[in-house]
């Protein structure tokens, strides 16, 4: 099975409600989809969002990086020579993490198809059913409480609460939600880099003192403020999780050595794909550190790849934040990964198991 071409498309899917964080507000998914074609007729699928505020990637930059740099190197390569292909993707251009992730997942999809096995089995196997949390966007307190209760009614047992806009209001938001859902769901906080180290310690002490029990707090300070992460981790009982501070294996090793986080959030769009995500999971396993697997605003194309990885690495990926498809007004993908609110399951179709994608718009790179 040789790679013969890489084609592009745009996928647009409206969200059920606007997605609001300390960094941005988004009303729809608008992602680049890539299709890696082969001489056997098999097609591998990948996807990446433009999340410039986090990864630096835009639609244009991703297409340029793939079409001009990666594609010429990959044409004619044997899918069975996976490690060589991964090296070509990772070493041909620096950064461009989301572009690399999209290409990698398409190649891994083909690799599973080549050997007629679902990707999670190729990566080590596991029980093909997991449960995800769901995100509660920043909003008025009453709206966030109502959204939380609605999520519980849909079967979600873990809620990720977006904060980071205003420290005083954030504290009241969390108290109100905790009072409404106590005993019904676990709470995770995600400040999206919105607090200072002292604000984070202040807020968490206030919440802990009020009896609010949190499963974790995610990325409370700016991504590069590793000293700030350490400052918080040393001063609060709530476990601190690194997200934007931990893109690749090197950052994870630094965080572990500095004891600047208790948990690492793996996202394929940050790591540059499945290969580095596996490395991070293995590093964390050595140091007995738990991982979460998360996603950006992505459809079930790329989230399916994350699901396969989560199942295969369930020994260390113990927390799941793959709610992208649940936030969409509809799922445009027909495939082997089933997203039913909190429950996600995989059947045994080869690779990622994607059969068809509704509403793809052809995207032709600039000549």
Each residue of 93-145: pLDDT tens digit? 999 999 999 999 999 999 999 999 999 999 999 999 999 999 999 999 999 99
CA distances from 51 to 55, 60, 327 (A): 6, 12, 17
pLDDT at 364 over 90: no
The catalytic site residues sit at 162, 267
Cα Dmax for the chain: 63
> Could you confirm whether domain 121-355 is CATH 3.30.565.10?
no
Does residue 341 contact residue 326 with C-beta atoms inside 8 Å?
yes
Order of all β-strands in the sheet with 240-242: 134-136, 158-162, 186-190, 216-218, 240-242, 263-267, 290-294, 317-321
Q: What is the pLDDT of residue 20?
A: 86
pLDDT at 242 over 80: yes
160 is in an annotated binding site: yes
Topology (CATH) of 2-116+357-362:
Enolase-like; domain 1 (3.30.390)
135 is in an annotated binding site: yes
Extents of the domains making up the chain: 2-116+357-362, 121-355
234 is in an annotated binding site: no
> Whole-number mean pLDDT of the chain?
97
Mean pLDDT of 171-195: 97
Task: Name the band, by pLDDT with cuts 50, 70 and 90, for residue 23.
Answer: confident
Report which of 223, 213, 275 is spatially closest to residue 251, judged by C-alpha positions.
223
pLDDT at 363 over 90: no
218 is in an annotated binding site: yes
Task: Name the band, by pLDDT with cuts 50, 70 and 90, for residue 366.
Answer: confident
Residue 119, φ and ψ in degrees, nearest 5: -60, -40
Give yes or no on whether 2-116+357-362 and 121-355 have one common fold: no
99 compared with 364, residue with greater pLDDT: 99
């Amino acid at each position: 099975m040789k790679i013969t071409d890489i084609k592009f498309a745009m996928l647009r899917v409206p969200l059920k409600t606007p997605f609001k964080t300390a960094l941005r507000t988004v009303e729809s998914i608008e992602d680049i989809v890539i299709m890696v074609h082969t001489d056997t007729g098999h097609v591998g699928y990948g996807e990446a969002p433009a999340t410039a505020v986090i990864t630096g990637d835009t639609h244009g930059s991703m297409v340029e990086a793939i079409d001009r740099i990666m594609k010429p190197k990959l044409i004619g390569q044997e899918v069975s020579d996976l490690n060589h292909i991964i090296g070509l993707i990772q070493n041909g251009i620096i950064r461009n993490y989301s572009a690399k992730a999209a290409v990698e997942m398409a190649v891994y999809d083909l690799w599973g198809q080549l050997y007629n096995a679902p990707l999670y089995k190729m990566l080590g196997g596991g029980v093909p059913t997991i449960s995800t949390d769901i995100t509660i966007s920043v909003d008025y307190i009453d709206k966030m409480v109502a959204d939380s209760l609605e999520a519980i009614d849909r079967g979600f047992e873990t809620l990720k609460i977006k904060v980071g806009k205003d420290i005083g209001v954030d504290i009241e938001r969390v108290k109100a939600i905790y009072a409404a859902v106590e005993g019904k769901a676990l709470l995770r906080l995600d400040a999206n880099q919105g607090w200072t180290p002292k604000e984070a310690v202040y807020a968490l002490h206030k919440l802990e003192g009020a009896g609010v029990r949190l499963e974790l707090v995610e990325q409370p300070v700016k991504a590069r403020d590793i000293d700030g992460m350490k400052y918080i981790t040393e001063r609060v009982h709530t476990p601190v999780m690194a997200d934007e501070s931990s893109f690749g294996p090197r950052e994870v090793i630094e965080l572990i050595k500095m004891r600047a986080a208790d948990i690492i959030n793996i996202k394929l769009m940050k790591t540059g794909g499945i290969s580095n995500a596996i490395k991070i999971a293995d590093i964390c396993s050595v140091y007995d550190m738990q991982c979460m697997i998360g996603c950006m605003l992505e459809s079930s194309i790329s989230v399916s790849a994350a699901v396969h990885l989560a199942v295969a690495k369930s020994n260390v990926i113990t927390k799941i934040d793959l709610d992208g498809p649940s936030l969409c007004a509809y799922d445009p993908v027909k495939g082997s990964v089933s997203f039913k609110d909190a429950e996600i399951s995989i059947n045994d179709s080869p690779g990622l198991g994607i059969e068809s994608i509704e509403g793809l718009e052809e995207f032709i790179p600039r000549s």
